[in-house]
Structure 1
Amino acid sequence: MTACVPAAEAPTSPPPAEVVQPVRTAPAARPSPSRSAVFTFDGELEQGGWMRGTVPPGTVEARLGEERLAFDDEGRFFAAFDRDSPGTMTLAARLADGRTIESPLAIAPRGWDIEHVDVARSPGGASEAFMRRRQPELDAIWTARLKETGSEGWKQDFAWPVKGRISGRFGSQRVYRGEPGSYHSGLDIAPGNGAPYVAPADGVVVLVADDFSLEGKLLIIDHGQGLNSAFLHSSRLYVREGERVRQGQHIGDVGASGRATGPHLHWSLKWRNARLDPLLFTGPMR
């Protein structure tokens, strides 16, 4: 006797992704329960910029490029674009019914302040003695930025932490005989030594450092969804690690601690590994 063996079924390919343009909405708009299967967003779609939006209904997983997105019970998410972001990126959502939605984004390029210097960079790099002190500081900063506190400050319109002369702009860079140096990763504000500064949005304090080699008195606040603020060179700090702070709360005083040529507040913003321009969060200083 011979057994009857059914023919093997040919493997089925997943359905192709649906390419759907995202829809820009008013910043204060709330997601509608009956919204259609599209991404909605508002924000600044340019290098160093950001977006807040909602995923399509039924989304079980969403990404911006290769970066997986977190979203809340209403489907709201935050994402951002590095200083050197490519000109095109894609939002993608995998839905519970098996469909995939892809939404292309055009990321506007920026004209950075680039200074070409006809001198060579100093050879050798950091000394071993310096790195013995520096590496634990870098590890503490890295660990602090990975903390997830559940803060919802990312949903707010950011305020200026302090107002004064802008003495250094995000993204500026020197090129030494064709070799690029590190670009300026934040915004420098010089209101005068000892001027109080405040939290630009709600958050949780994830690092308070009293005497880091470069940053001096350093404060990092998590705003949730991978977005965090760092404040460098303070003369005094008024909060502790684990403390929840509110937008507008006095958190520190401007100073010149660490490696600083004069008193100023260096404010930097990061989303995951992307460095962002604080000026695109606040708008012009008034």
Structure 2
Amino acid sequence: MKTNHSTDRLLLMQRHLIGIIIAILCLPLPARALTLEGNLVQGGMAIGKTDPGATVVYQGKSVRVSPEGLFVIGFARDAALASEIELHASSGTVEKHPVHIEKRTYRIQRIDGLPPRKVSPSPEDLERIYADIALVKKVRKKDEPRTDFAQTFIWPVTGRISGVYGSQRILNGKPKRPHYGVDIAAPTGTPVKAPADGVVSMAHEDMFYSGGTLIVDHGHGISTVYMHLHKILVKEGHPVGQGDVIAQVGATGRVTGPHLHWGMNWFETRLDPSLLVPPMPKAPPK
């Protein structure tokens, strides 16, 4: 009996295709079930996407995952260049995904002419400083389900950048902690705009170092802070939209002149907000 060669080839192709499908179904959860995009650099923020219902563990802690599978992580100023994310799938499988970030080099910035009390505080001042720190730490523990952090951020103020993230500060000749934010020089009273949607989590008129201080929560532990304010125009608990005027630039706290200090956090990890915005627009010619 003669065999139809076309039929034989078709049967072989079908069997081959079925074999491929079975092999794929038997594979463990693929690596593409987790993606990570953003600023993979010291001081950066990265947004991840995974399967809804999966559990993400980073640095030994579970990270909030939205119903759509979104999550966010941040890297400290001196974060290790290699780490990993553990992905616990709803099926029970566990995968380890390597995370590699780039190293940064930071400047040294010298600032003189500060009031001596703001560099070497008295015991009474220290009591107030510790109270300020405790309040801010409490606010930064928030882990709200909103995903406002996924927006494209805008500059809260435009102007000359007078201080950058990560720079080692030498104040009145004394080495101090690094600078954890971006300083933007602008006249007192200049409007400060919300760089993204969020909810006001703290509004304090007069902190020892930061003066008028405002914190906006953007969800999943991401918050932005605005310091040295002349006036705060929003209240705690109020939602804000991107572009809303929330405060005015001032010269309160430890400063040598009016400017906005713009900082960003992932819980207690201090991030660089300038990584989330385009280059500072140039001032129009006068």
Bin the TM-score by the shorter chain: 0.7 to 0.9
1:100 to 1:138, Cα distance in 2 relative to 1, 3 A: same
Q: Which amino acid aligns with 1:86?
A: A
Unpaired runs of 5+ residues, structure 1, are: 1-17, 22-35
Instruction: Give the Cα–Cα distance (whole angstroms) in 2 for the partners of residues 231 and 195 of structure 1.
Output: 13
Could you tell me how far 1:155 is from its partner in structure 2?
Answer: 1.4
Instruction: Give the Cα–Cα distance (whole angstroms) in 1 for the partners of residues 196 and 110 of structure 2.
Output: 36
What's the secondary structure of 1:194's corresponding residue? coil
Q: Which amino acid aligns with 2:128?
A: R
Which residue of 1 is the match for residue 195 of structure 2? 200
- Pairing partner for 2:251 from 249, 253, 256: 256
Could you tell me how far 1:94 is from its partner in structure 2?
Answer: 1.1
Which residue of 2 is the match for residue 79 of structure 1? 73
- Pairing partner for 2:86 from 86, 92, 97: 92
Q: Which amino acid aligns with 1:47?
A: Q
1:154 to 1:126, Cα distance in 2 relative to 1, 3 A: same
Which residue of 2 is the match for residue 104 of structure 1? 98
Instruction: Give the Cα–Cα distance (whole angstroms) in 2 for the partners of residues 201 and 192 of structure 1.
Output: 23
Which residue of 1 is the match for residue 36 of structure 2? 41
Pairing of 1:149-188 with structure 2 (within 5 A): 149-174=144-169, 181-188=176-183
Could you tell me how far 1:127 is from its partner in structure 2?
Answer: 3.2
Deviations 1:228-275 (A, max 9, x none): 001000111100000000000000110101111100000000002211
Could you tell me how far 1:56 is from its partner in structure 2?
Answer: 3.9
Which residue of 1 is the match for residue 13 of structure 2? none
Instruction: Give the Cα–Cα distance (whole angstroms) in 1 for the partners of residues 212 and 53 of structure 2.
Output: 45
Which residue of 2 is the match for residue 28 of structure 1? none
- Pairing partner for 1:140 from 135, 155, 165: 135
Q: Which amino acid aligns with 1:252?
A: A
1:58 to 1:220, Cα distance in 2 relative to 1, 3 A: closer
Could you tell me how far 1:175 is from its partner in structure 2?
Answer: 7.1
Does the aligned pair in 2 maintain the 1:56–1:93 contact within 8 Å?
A: no
Does the aligned pair in 1 maintain the 2:186–2:259 contact within 8 Å?
A: yes
User: Between Structure 1 and Structure 2, whose CA radius of gyration is higher?
Assistant: 2
1:115 to 1:210, Cα distance in 2 relative to 1, 3 A: closer
Could you tell me how far 1:58 is from its partner in structure 2?
Answer: 5.0
Which residue of 1 is the match for residue 208 of structure 2? 213
Deviations 1:65-110 (A, max 9, x none): 2232101111111111111110101111112222111110111000
Q: Which amino acid aligns with 2:236?
A: E
Instruction: Give the Cα–Cα distance (whole angstroms) in 2 for the partners of residues 57 and 241 of structure 1.
Output: 32
Moved over 6 A (4+): none
1:187 to 1:53, Cα distance in 2 relative to 1, 3 A: same
Instruction: Give the Cα–Cα distance (whole angstroms) in 1 for the partners of residues 175 and 96 of structure 2.
Output: 35
The alignment status of 1:66 with 2:71, answered yes or no, reads no
Instruction: Give the Cα–Cα distance (whole angstroms) in 2 for the partners of residues 87 and 20 of structure 1.
Output: 24
1:214 to 1:77, Cα distance in 2 relative to 1, 3 A: same
Does the aligned pair in 1 maintain the 2:169–2:179 contact within 8 Å?
A: no
The alignment status of 1:127 with 2:122, answered yes or no, reads yes
Does the aligned pair in 2 maintain the 1:193–1:264 contact within 8 Å?
A: yes
Does the aligned pair in 1 maintain the 2:144–2:221 contact within 8 Å?
A: no
CA RMSD of aligned residues (A): 2.4
Instruction: Give the Cα–Cα distance (whole angstroms) in 2 for the partners of residues 20 and 126 of structure 1.
Output: 55
* Larger helix proportion of the pair: 2
Query: Aligned residues, how many?
Result: 246
Query: Normalization by structure 1: what TM-score?
Result: 0.80
Query: Normalization by structure 2: what TM-score?
Result: 0.80
